[in-house]
Amino acid sequence: MTLAQKIEQILKDELKPENIKTIIDLAEFLKVKESQKKWDEINESEHEFITAEEQAHLEEVKATGQFIDQDELLQELGINKDEIQN
């Protein structure tokens, strides 16, 4: 039974508390899966936007552990830390 069929079957059944929890769990799973799909698409298209030279620099930074401080990055981008919601 596919995921769509399972959801359809649950919706056809009387909505018991355990079915509602199942629907919520399925929705959360689909949300995570969709989010992961977007990240996969971004990662796959990375080469279109990052030159080989930039990629080499990124690999060098990763290898040497040179990471930029978040506060420095926000300051460089002109973003006030208070504007960002966690």
State the pLDDT confidence band at 85, using cuts at 50, 70 and 90: low
* In the predicted structure, residue 52 carries a pLDDT above the cut 80: yes
* Sign for the pseudo-dihedral over CA of 19, 21, 27, 32: negative
pLDDT recorded at residue 44? 85
Q: How far is residue 81 CA from its own chain's centroid? A: 22
C-alpha 86/C-alpha 73 separation (Å) is 17
